[in-house]
Amino acid sequence: MEYLHWDQITITDFSDKAVADLYDRGYVFTRLGRGIMQQTRSVRIDLSEWKPTSENRRIMKKVEGITLTTTKLPLALAPVGSPASYHWSLGKLAKDFYEKKFGPGIFSAQKVKEMLTDAKTSNFNALLSYKVTDKNAGYAICYQSSGAATSKSSLLHYSYPFYDLTAVDDGSMTKDIGLGMMLLAIASAKDLDLEYIYLGSLQRPTDTYKLQFKGLEWFDGTAWRTDIDKAKEVIGGK
């Protein structure tokens, strides 16, 4: 699965401001290696403008029993079982999810382990964990600025979500869990007073679900735009 990008750079300055400035120019962190960013048709929400629409509220009602917690990365390799330790089932869940959604070889369990446990090779510093009572519902491997939430450099890049598709197939988890997880992350970022949440890129017609949020902006290669109809036209979504 090729990722749309117009430029690729490798950074050495990981300060909140330096990273936020690059995100503001359409660059996002990737899983290709430490410091590697690509400029893409990025999508973000200005959280000062966001509030849930009636459709958003409908989806959020379906996941109202799900709790979201954030764990700082990297996870420890031991002791297994502690809240901030890595377990092989995380890698398997992600691999199985991406394989079923997009085909074999997209996201290996070993790559997931590396992203979650090795700060020397990974750009991502936050694991969003979603639970229903004591059962894990899903995860997202993210980047979140580390400084003051109210600063102009504050952002969350919501990325690499995965969840148990067998639970969706057997009806024990809502089929709207994917969008529900994203909405819970948006609401959490708003509660934290972050400036922006980034939602990946617009590449294909199936990405139109990212265009349903108030405060949404998309990067056209030069500037940020708010014209949703144009975005749909660009990706063939109408």
Q: What is the dihedral of CA 210, 213, 216, 218, to 10 degrees?
A: 10
Reply yes or no on whether the pLDDT at 183 is more than 80.
Answer: yes
b/e map of 12-39 (b: 16 or more CB within 10 Å)?
eeeebeebbebbbbbbbbbbeeeeebbb
What pLDDT score does 215 carry? 98
Q: 221: alpha, beta or left, given left = phi > 0 and alpha = psi -120 to 50?
A: left
Query: What pTM was estimated for this model as a whole?
Result: 0.94
What pLDDT score does 159 carry? 98
pLDDT digits over 197-231, tens only?
999 999 999 999 999 999 999 999 999 999 999 99
Q: Compare 147 and 235 and report the one with higher pLDDT.
A: 235
What pLDDT score does 80 carry? 61
Residue 238: pLDDT band (50, 70, 90) is: low
Residue owning tokens 């300055």: 13
- Domains of the chain by start residue, with CATH: 7-234 (3.40.630.30)
What pLDDT score does 2 carry? 74
Taking residues 162-166, report their average pLDDT.
Answer: 95
What is the DSSP track for the chain? -PPP-SEEEE-S---HHHHHHHHTTTEEE-SSSTTEEEE--EEEEETTT----HHHHHHHHHTTTEEEEEEESSPBSSSTTSTTB--HHHHHHHHHHHHHHH-TTSS-HHHHHHHHH-TTT----EEEEEEETTEEEEEEEEEE--S-TTSTT-EEE---EEE-HHHHHTTSS-TTHHHHHHHHHHHHHHHTT-SEEEEEE--SGGGGGGG-STTEEEE-SSSEE--HHHHHHHTT--
Residues 6 or more apart in contact with residue 58 via CB below 8 angstroms: none
What pLDDT score does 214 carry? 97
pLDDT digits over 123-160, tens only?
999 999 999 888 889 999 999 998 655 566 799 999 99
For residue 131, give both structure tokens: 């639970």
What pLDDT score does 125 carry? 97
What pLDDT score does 230 carry? 96
- The answer to whether 96 touches 131, Cβ cutoff 8 Å, is no
Reply yes or no on whether the pLDDT at 16 is more than 80.
Answer: yes
Residues 6 or more apart in contact with residue 126 via CB below 8 angstroms: 70, 71, 72, 73, 141, 142, 143, 144, 156
Residue 162 CA to residue 106 CA, distance in Å, equals 13
How does the average pLDDT of the chain come out, rounded? 93
pLDDT digits over 39-85, tens only?
999 999 999 999 999 999 999 999 999 999 999 999 998 766 666 78
Reply yes or no on whether the pLDDT at 191 is more than 70.
Answer: yes
- The answer to whether 131 touches 69, Cβ cutoff 8 Å, is yes
Residue 175 CA to residue 55 CA, distance in Å, equals 15
Residue 178 CA to residue 163 CA, distance in Å, equals 8
Residue 213 CA to residue 178 CA, distance in Å, equals 15
What pLDDT score does 3 carry? 84
